[in-house]
Chain A
Amino acid sequence: MEVDKGKGEAEETRKVAEADRDTVTLKSSDGKLFEVSKEAAARLSTVLAGMIAGGSIDDNGTDLKQIGSEALENVVDYCNKHANSIPSAALISSSISFNTAPFKEPEEWERKFVDRLSHDALFDLVEAANFLGMERLLDVTCHKISEMMKGKSPDQIREVFNIKNDYTKEELEEIRQELAWAFYDD
């Protein structure tokens, strides 16, 4: 039944795609279909650009089995927002801000885009961006995560990243002493 429903939606999107070939249809691991601007997809994702150039885009929905629907929705949302963002605004802000760290500074809308995500959604988006070769989105999401890590204690970091402490008490004490300088203001 799920397949039939997917086909029905795909039929519709195909009609749209025939009328206006500016979009491509992507299918998440759980079978949901999303449309994204072809131009933005090709510009922002090296993987999608390769698929579009190589003709391996499926009008019924190109299977992205590694990406769940929530993450794919965010990817598509990001691409569409990026397609609409006004380049002149970006130019103005970069000429005034000289805070050019190795990370290309996220634009304000990109900051807002990642700020509203839950931890899980953010982490899923990192994986999706990595899988699709979306350098800019990977930068923006990783920038957010590295900001989350600054100033946090190892315990807090473990909590955020859901990591198990696999050190013994003695080992931990030894490392902490080695690195006492990094903890002086805690």
Chain B
Amino acid sequence: MTLPKGFGSAGGEGATSADVERMIGRRVENMTGIITLAYIAAWLATFAGTAAGYFYYPWAYPTNSGHFAFIVLTIIESIGYIFCIKVSEEGTRKNSNVLMTIVLGSVAVGTLLIAMYVGW
């Protein structure tokens, strides 16, 4: 097996497990934190985007439309978040179902409160 420059020992022997770990870098199953933060950031950005719409252009983009878009996009982002965590942890002993439940539940409540009280 040909290894990239800097990996393996001189003399063309195979990769050691240390080499393999170096080539992998951060494993996907250890990316739960960054994926969760990215999801929350995307959700907040979605709120900011729709809010910019109904605060600055209420005649073209009424609050109802903004909240409708916000809710639908939150659902799309949530499905993406679940897929990402499930793909990254499949085949390992890791399980972040509790974290996902808390995050998704909080986002659901936040979405509901925003849709009821912001921009009217």
On whether the two chains bind one another, the answer is: no
